[in-house]
């Protein structure tokens, strides 16, 4: 670049006098003016409410009550003895595991196929990514129609090829799995694109060298692709886990937690206690536990990933 | 689109093909030199799988659209007949007339455009300061960004709800927008992007007498156009799909964004699927068309944020 060339000459004349890491050490105040609006927002909208959540969780807190008595850890004790909360934890964990076990490998498989650079790759990736850009409310409504036991397209298709038909969202044994299945359909394109970005980042000469060494297709995948894809895989796994723990909208739209609590999730239960029953202290305790779970997962991410963690 | 044209190469190659063409040329050396029956078979199988996957992904949308074109009283009797015999837009007209859909669309637009605007301004400024700035407390601010990234937004909803009530902001656009504008993701993304801009450029501008703010407007922003486009599009989709926070903070149905509005229609419309699906298609259309128009930006944005790993 011409500009940096000229600067190099200036730098030589000044004898390396220029600071290299940053600009404008003399105008500190300007930096504060630039960064402060966002910092104030962080503080007022995220940080103070975050601390507030801990505080409220130690109280019996109804929004319109005159006083909010301090109850210590009572909300947490109640939480641990609350079968509905444990149902919610188990359901959320099950949902997350389903996404990990199916979503991630399918996304990797699709990315590998798209990386073959076949004709029509643009069309394929556009189609597979389509559900990602559509909102959860929209896909939840479309799928609750697809899942309809009498009129839905899925049972009609199963019936045509002679397979048994299911009651999907109406049965407590299949409702959560049905929501997970739809979520995989909605989300798989996102992970696929991240995997694809990872695959494109593997230098060609590594494959060329492997071919020269006589490595078979499988060996190239096993000894070049997989190891170099490790950071991307960790990213995909952890982000999928973190976001699947926040599952809410699908449940609200498709099943309202039912049938018989089989689709209660942590965030759905949080919303119900906080904004339906207005037990905000108890809801905050649920939120704090959710935070601890997600925080634990993030620590795991940092451990496995080292210092320069993306997100 | 990014996926094909290997955007990770440092030097951009001249663009000859318009985006929407389906031809596919990667521009990188073809390392699969073996041309054998095995190769042909593998490609055939890959095509079959990808066509099946594309079908699975698109059929629900196509089917919902086709069903929404059937007259309400014919939907259940013609369930086996996928393509409507006499397509009609009656469901669209009815659902629009019976609900304040225009108001909901307007609400969603105001929210999305507002959040995108403030996100782009505040996140580029803060990201610039964090990447190139030199001020006391910089590492504290950066820790704040990373720390708030980890907080699930649901955790702050109860206190934020009380906070918004305390300042009399419930039922306002502002109350909905602030949570999304405060999102640290964009700050982090812009910081990562600005870190990659060589210091020498900035120093040269400083030699020419540019202030910090002039460097921002003349160097950082113009260079950040692709990152800004991705962040903007992402934020738009994110806010357009927002559900829980607006549901919590609003108590006046005239203030609902579109997603909340149609989400709450389900109970009332349990037997009027034609109208419900019409509303669903209307809610999906803006993002789907934005996506089809800006596919390249989308994929770049994900590669930019995810690929950074």
Tens digits of residue pLDDT in A153-196: 888 888 888 888 888 898 888 999 999 999 999 999 989 988 98
Q: Which residues are CB-neighbours of A189 under 8 A, at least 6 positions away?
A: A107, A125, A128, A129, A130, A131, A132, B57
Torsion of CA A236, A242, A245, A251, to 10 degrees: -60
> What are the phi and psi torsion angles at A149 (to 5°)?
-60, -35
A31·B202 Cβ contact <8 A: no
For A44-93, write each residue's pLDDT tens digit. 999 999 999 999 999 998 888 888 899 989 999 999 999 999 999 999 99
- Does the pLDDT of residue A308 top 80, yes or no? no
Residue B270: what pLDDT?
66
Residue A243: what pLDDT?
87
Residue B157: what pLDDT?
92
A130·B29 Cβ contact <8 A: no
Which residues, given as ranges, of chain B have pLDDT below 50? Answer: 1-25, 27-29, 31, 307-309
> What are the phi and psi torsion angles at A233 (to 5°)?
-65, -45
Q: Given CA atoms B218, B223, B226, B231 in this order, what sign does their dihedral have?
A: negative
**Confidence at A143, pLDDT banded by 50, 70, 90:** very high
Measured between CA atoms, how close is A92 to chain B, in angstroms?
A: 15
Partner A contacted by B144 (CB < 8 A): yes
Partner A contacted by B218 (CB < 8 A): no
Cα distance between the two ends of chain B: 21
Residue A18: what pLDDT?
43
* Helices B138-150 & A280-305 angle (0-180, nearest 10): 110
Compute CA distances B48 → A113, A277, B26, whole Å: 11, 51, 21
- Does the pLDDT of residue A124 top 70, yes or no? yes
A138·B280 Cβ contact <8 A: yes
Least Cα distance to B214 among B224, B199, B197, B202 occurs for B202
Enumerate the residues of chain B whose CB falls inside 8 A of the CB of residue A133. Answer: 237, 287-288, 290-291, 298
Mean pLDDT of chain A: 85
Q: Which residue in the set B24, B132, B262 is minimally distant from A117, CB to CB?
A: B24
Q: With pLDDT > 70 as the criterion, what percentage of chain A qualifies?
A: 88
Residue A27: what pLDDT?
62
Give the integer Cα–Cα distance in Å for A6 and B115.
Answer: 41
Compute CA distances B160 → A52, A237, A271, A293, B67, whole Å: 9, 30, 14, 21, 41
Q: Which residue has the higher pLDDT, A29 or A303?
A: A29
| Number of neighbours of residue B168 by Cβ within 10 angstroms | 9
Measured between CA atoms, how close is B209 to chain A, in angstroms?
A: 11
Measured between CA atoms, how close is B264 to chain A, in angstroms?
A: 8
Residue A183: what pLDDT?
97
Tell which of B11, B60, B189, B236 to mutate to test the A interface (max A CBs under 10 Å).
Answer: B60
Residue A66: what pLDDT?
84
Mean pLDDT of chain B: 82
- Does the pLDDT of residue A215 top 80, yes or no? yes
Give the integer Cα–Cα distance in Å for B121 and B207.
Answer: 26
Residue A308's region, left for phi above 0, alpha for psi from -120 to 50, else beta, is beta
Q: Check residue B83 and report its DSSP letter.
A: S
Residue A64: what pLDDT?
81
- What part of B 171-200 touches A (C-beta under 8 Å)? 178-179, 181-182, 184-185, 187-188, 192, 198-200
Work out the average pLDDT over A108-123: 91
Q: Which residue in the set A45, A50, A288 is minimally distant from B179, CB to CB?
A: A45
Q: Which residue in the set A110, A119, A298 is minimally distant from B24, CB to CB?
A: A119
Query: Cis peptide before A259, with omega less than 30 degrees from 0?
Result: yes
B199·A197 Cβ contact <8 A: no
Measured between CA atoms, how close is A173 to chain B, in angstroms?
A: 23
Enumerate the residues of chain A whose CB falls inside 8 A of the CB of residue B161. Answer: 63, 275
Give the integer Cα–Cα distance in Å for B65 and A236.
Answer: 32
pTM: 0.83
Given a contact cutoff of 8 angstroms between Cβ atoms, the answer to whether B202 and A23 are in contact is: yes
Does the interface predicted TM-score (ipTM) exceed 0.95? Answer: no
Give the integer Cα–Cα distance in Å for A54 and B18.
Answer: 53
Measured between CA atoms, how close is A158 to chain B, in angstroms?
A: 13
- Does the pLDDT of residue A233 top 90, yes or no? no
Tell which of B138, B154, B283 to mutate to test the A interface (max A CBs under 10 Å).
Answer: B154
A38·B134 Cβ contact <8 A: no
Enumerate the residues of chain B whose CB falls inside 8 A of the CB of residue A38. Answer: 122-123, 125-126, 187
Helices (H) and strands (E) in chain A, counts: 17, 0
Q: Which residue in the set B31, B152, B211 is minimally distant from A294, CB to CB?
A: B152
Q: Which token pair is A193?
A: 């694109």
Q: Is A70 helix (H, G, I), strand (E, B) or coil?
A: strand
B154·A207 Cβ contact <8 A: no
Which chain B residue shows the shortest CA-CA distance from A40?
Answer: B182
Q: Check residue B28 and report its DSSP letter.
A: S
Enumerate the residues of chain B whose CB falls inside 8 A of the CB of residue A232. Answer: 306-307, 309
Give the integer Cα–Cα distance in Å for B239 and B157.
Answer: 16
């Amino acid at each position: 670049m011409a500009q940096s060339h000229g600067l190099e000459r200036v730098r030589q004349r000044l004898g390396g006098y220029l600071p290299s890491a940053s600009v404008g050490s003399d105008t500190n105040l300007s930096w504060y003016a630039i960064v402060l609006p966002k910092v104030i927002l962080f503080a007022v909208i995220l940080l103070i409410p975050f601390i507030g959540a801990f505080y409220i969780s130690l109280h019996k807190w109804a929004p319109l009550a005159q006083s909010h008595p301090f109850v210590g850890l009572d909300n947490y004790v109640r939480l641990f003895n609350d079968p509905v909360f444990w149902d919610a934890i188990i359901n959320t964990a099950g949902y997350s595991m389903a996404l990990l076990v199916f979503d991630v490998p399918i996304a990797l498989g699709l990315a590998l196929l798209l990386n073959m650079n076949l004709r029509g790759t643009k069309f394929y990736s556009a189609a597979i990514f389509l559900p990602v850009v559509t909102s959860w409310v929209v896909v939840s409504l479309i799928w609750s129609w697809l899942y309809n036991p009498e009129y839905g397209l899925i049972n009609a298709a199963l019936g045509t090829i002679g397979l048994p038909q299911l009651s999907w969202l109406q049965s407590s044994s299949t409702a959560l799995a049905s929501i997970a299945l739809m979520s995989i359909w909605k989300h798989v394109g996102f992970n696929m694109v991240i995997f694809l970005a990872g695959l494109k980042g593997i230098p060609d000469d590594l494959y060329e060298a492997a071919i020269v060494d006589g490595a078979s297709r499988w060996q190239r995948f096993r000894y070049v692709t997989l190891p170099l894809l490790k950071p991307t895989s960790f990213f995909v796994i952890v982000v999928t886990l973190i976001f699947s723990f926040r599952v809410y909208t699908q449940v609200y739209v498709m099943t309202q937690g039912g049938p018989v609590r089989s689709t209660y999730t942590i965030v759905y239960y949080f919303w119900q206690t906080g904004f339906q029953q207005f037990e905000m202290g108890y809801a905050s305790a649920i939120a704090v536990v959710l935070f601890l779970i997600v925080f634990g997962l993030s620590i795991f991410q940092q451990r496995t990933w080292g210092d320069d963690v993306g997100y | 689109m990014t996926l094909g044209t290997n955007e990770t190469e440092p030097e951009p190659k001249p663009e000859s093909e318009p985006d929407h063409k389906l031809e596919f040329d990667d521009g990188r050396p073809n390392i699969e030199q073996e041309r054998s029956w095995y190769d042909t078979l593998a490609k055939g199988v890959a095509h079959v799988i990808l066509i099946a996957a594309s079908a699975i992904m698109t059929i629900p949308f196509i089917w919902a659209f086709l069903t929404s074109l059937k007259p309400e009283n014919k939907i259940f009797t013609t369930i086996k007949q996928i393509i409507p015999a006499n397509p009609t837009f009656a469901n669209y007209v009815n659902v629009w007339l019976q609900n304040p859909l225009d108001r909901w669309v307007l609400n969603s637009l105001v929210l999305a455009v507002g959040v995108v605007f403030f996100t782009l301004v505040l996140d580029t400024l803060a990201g610039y300061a964090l990447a190139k700035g030199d001020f006391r407390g910089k590492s504290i601010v950066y820790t704040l960004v990373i720390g708030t990234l980890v907080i699930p937004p649901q955790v702050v909803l109860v206190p934020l709800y009380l906070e918004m009530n305390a300042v009399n902001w419930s039922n306002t656009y502002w109350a909905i927008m602030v949570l999304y504008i405060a999102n640290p993701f964009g700050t982090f993304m812009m910081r990562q992007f600005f870190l990659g801009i060589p210091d020498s450029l900035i120093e040269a501008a400083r030699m020419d007498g540019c202030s910090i703010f002039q460097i921002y407007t003349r160097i950082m922003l113009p260079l950040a156009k692709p990152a800004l486009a991705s962040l903007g599009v992402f934020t738009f989709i994110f806010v357009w799909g927002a559900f829980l926070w607006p549901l919590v903070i609003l108590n006046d149905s005239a203030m609902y964004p579109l997603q909340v509005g149609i989400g709450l229609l389900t109970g009332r419309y349990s037997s009027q699927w034609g109208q419900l699906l019409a509303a669903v298609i209307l809610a999906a259309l803006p993002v789907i068309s934005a996506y089809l128009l800006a596919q390249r930006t989308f994929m770049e944005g994900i590669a930019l944020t995810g690929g950074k790993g």
